[in-house]
Amino acid sequence: MSTNSSFNFRVDKSKKTVYVTKEFAAGLSLVWDAFTKKELLDQWWAPKPFLSKTKVMEFKVGGRRFYAMVSPEGKQMWQLQQYTSITPKTNFKFLSVFADEDQTPHLPGSDWDLSFTEENGRTKVDISIYNESLERMERMMVMGFKEGFTATLNELDSILTSLK
Amino acid sequence: MRRDIFQAIADPTRRAIISLIAVQAMTPNAIAENFNTTRQAVSKHLRILTECELVSQEQQGREIYYSLEINKLKELDKWLEQYRTLWENRFDQLDNLLSTIK
């Protein structure tokens, strides 16, 4: 486990958005490739013991990545990412939805926005994930993609701390 | 109907109620005074929170006081912590990958 001093994770309940920031000790081109090429993505996207299996990936506006998170028992959870905007080595956006094995999307989805900046040979990636539906947020939580409500909990935390 | 904690916090009024009764146990009337909504609506929210086991009731004289079940709320922390951990693990893997393909 590396030290995660360059890692930041934050949830803004009022904006229904999760923010994840991370700085990598690698150049921009390499990091961009790791996020946009399926053979690299599949090597790190799924947290162990899950596996990421990308079935289709067309990295272009209007294109998609269709992939499964495969559990150790072999259960496949399909997801579809539809690219809506690409500015090479700077930013890309996609709509992420749960899907069937036959690529039927289950709306609503979440809007992802990923920005890449390089400084002194290190690359910072800023990710925001916006969920329109609270119900979907819950579902993402239950599926291991748990988003939301940190702000509420932080409020509560401070209340609880003040009571101690 | 089976309810869970995510349903409890899916509604902004219920989140506000949770924050209120985290400080002290309150009667439905006292809770309702904090909202521009009917007493009936607040009662409905309290019923849902009760079914989710997020709040408990205690009769004191003629009044019922609602208080927060702190331990139940910690389940949420666990979920969020897991999501955060997911990203940490994911990025640790990418750190390793980047160092090998440089």
Contact A149 B9 (CB under 8 A): yes
For residue A153, is it within any domain? yes
Beta pairing partners, A120: none
> Where is average pLDDT lowest: A13-27, A135-149, B33-47?
A135-149
Q: CA-based diameter of chain B, in Å?
A: 72
ipTM above 0.90, yes or no: no
Q: What is the CATH number of the domain that holds A24?
A: 3.30.530.20
Tell me which residue in B84, B90, B92 faces A1 most closely, judged by beta carbons: B92
> Where is average pLDDT lowest: A21-25, A140-144, B96-100?
A140-144
| Partners of residue B89 in chain A, C-beta under 8 Å | 47-48
For residue A122, is it within any domain? yes
Contact B86, A144 (CB under 8 A): yes
Binding-site residues on chain A for chain B (CB distance < 8 A)? 1-2, 4, 7, 9, 11, 18, 20, 22, 24-26, 30-31, 34, 40, 43-48, 134-135, 138, 141-142, 144-150, 152-153, 155-156, 159-160, 163
Q: A110 is in which domain, residue-wise?
A: 7-163
**Which tokens hold the place of B70?**
């702190």
Tell me which residue in A24, A40, A135 faces B10 most closely, judged by beta carbons: A135
Q: Helical H runs in A45-133?
A: none
Smallest Cα–Cα separation from A48: which of A146, A136, A144, A147? A144
> How many domains are contained in chain A?
1
How much is the average pLDDT of B16-39? 88
User: Is the sign of the CA dihedral A58, A59, A62, A65 positive or negative?
Assistant: positive
**From CA A18, how far away is CA A142, in angstroms rounded?**
16
With cut-offs at 50, 70 and 90, classify the pLDDT of residue B88. confident
For residue A64, is it within any domain? yes
DSSP A30: H
**pLDDT value of position A105:** 87
Q: Is a pLDDT exceeding 60 seen at residue B41?
A: yes
Rounded to two decimals, what is the model's pTM?
Answer: 0.65
**From CA A76, how far away is CA A158, in angstroms rounded?**
39
How much is the average pLDDT of B5-13? 74
For residue A103, is it within any domain? yes
Contact B93 A31 (CB under 8 A): no
For residue A82, is it within any domain? yes
Give the angle A127-A130-A132 at the CA atoms, nearest 5°.
Answer: 170
* Domains of chain B in sequence order: 5-101 (1.10.10.10)
